[in-house]
Amino acid sequence: MIEFGTPAFWLALLQIIGVNIVLSGDNAVVIALAARSLPPLQQKKAIFWGSSAAVVMRIILTVVAVELLKLPVLKLIGALLLLWIAVQLLLPEEDGEGEGQAISSMAAAIRTILIADLVMSLDNVIGVAAVAKGSLLLLIIGLAISIPLVIFASTLLLKVMERYPIIVTLGAALLGYVAGEMAVTDPLVAVWIEANATWLHTVLPVAGVVIVIGLGKLLAARAEAGEEERPLVEIEGTPGESTEGDTTMHKLLLPIDGSDASLRAVDRLLTMRAWYKEPLEVHLLNVQHVLHKDVSQFVSAEDMKGYYHDEGLKELAEARARLERAGVPCQHHVVIGDLAAETIAHFVRDHGIGQVLMCTHGRSAVADLVLGSVAKGMLQHTDVPVTLVRAVA
């Protein structure tokens, strides 16, 4: 049992919060989407009551899981499940079509929130129960901090994880480490390990990390290599202005994710537009990350499309406003894609783009290697000129 206030307690608390953030983001999106079609006042009520009931249910399920993990063999089974969950985190998302029904009442929204949270929280419950190591106090504090954070900051958290994939990789590694810790403490083997192989307390958690990262990256690479390129799904586009196939038009693309860094590319265009040959056609592109396939089970295709549409236009709004104020006409597009660089390159090919102007985040080469770089990915996936604007630190 972990004692309150010890370094082990605070470390485990941070792990619980991390596990919740990595595994619960899409649960929170379902909560927002379930209430999307309701009037504003009912939306707030449905989210409040649905979220409150889901939190209570989640705590009860996790407490039950903590108690069950005290039984022999169940920790070994839980460790294998955690390894599988961690590997799944590293695989490309599959785009769901939206199989749920449209929600027209507050009761239906609350019911959808509860069912979705129950179905989608198995991985979360197992992970948090494993980290808690039997401490109900640690469990309650961790859930009390992280669940409201996930519910009310879900969109922000998803965008951060999309922009910095290393967060998901670290989350998967954490689950692999916890799986190793869980396996060596199972009552069936714990006594023997303490007497004959205490070194397994160090080796198995590290092995869990290696297995998750190695297997996850291998399967992800195979999935990407074996998958045929799908048609680009465009949720929003400027109507009636396409000049596809017009070789006289110089088409310039600016990928926009709503960040200050991406807006610097817009500012650079405004300062150097005289350098571009006329006629110039400016395209703004926003890539919306694919929601987890489980989300589509509980919400309609129309609500999913509406979510992508609204989030995309929100992130494009400032860039469009700056160009409009400067009198520069532009076309805007919102597309869906799991890997931003590949999706942008796909758009470039489909729309005959002649040049890409985008901003880097101003990180060092080492930081880009660790955190990932869309700009670097673009240089690898497209043959058209890519002009990079370095962000000011």
Do 338 and 313 share a structural domain? yes
The closest alpha carbon to 307, from 336, 274, 278, 270, belongs to 336
CB 330 within 8 Å of CB 320: yes
User: Mean pLDDT of all residues in the chain?
Assistant: 80
| pLDDT tops 90 at residue 123 | no
Q: What is the pLDDT of residue 262?
A: 87
Of 226, 243, 266, the last residue of a domain is 226
> Which one has a higher pLDDT value, 92 or 42?
42
Whether 162 shows a pLDDT value over 80: the answer reads no
Residue 237 pairs in a beta bridge with 333
**Lowest-confidence pick of 69-73, 125-129, 297-301:** 297-301
pLDDT value, residue 390? 73
Helix, coil or strand: residue 222: helix
pLDDT value of position 109: 78
Q: What percent of the chain has pLDDT over 70?
A: 83
233: part of which helix (H) or strand (E)?
Answer: strand 233-237
Which pLDDT score, from 0 to 100, does residue 94 have? 63
Q: Assess if residue 2 is contained within a domain.
A: no
Structure tokens at 381: 């996936």
For the cut 50, the answer to whether the pLDDT of residue 190 exceeds it is yes
36 shares a domain with 90? yes
Q: CATH number for the domain including 315?
A: 3.40.50.620
Boundaries of domain holding 318 = 233-390
**Domains in the chain, number:** 2
- The answer to whether residue 156 sits within a structural domain is yes
* Residue 371 scores a pLDDT above 80: no
CB atoms within 10 A of CB 148: 12
Same structural domain for residues 176 and 274? no
Give yes or no: residues 67 and 181 share one domain: yes
Count other C-beta atoms under 10 Å from residue 129's C-beta: 27
Residue 1 lies in a domain: no
Domain match, 194 and 254 both: no
Q: Which of 204, 226, 248 is the last residue of a domain?
A: 226
Q: What pLDDT, on a 0 to 100 scale, did the predictor assign at position 367? A: 43
- Choosing from 226, 260, 275, the residue where a domain stops is 226
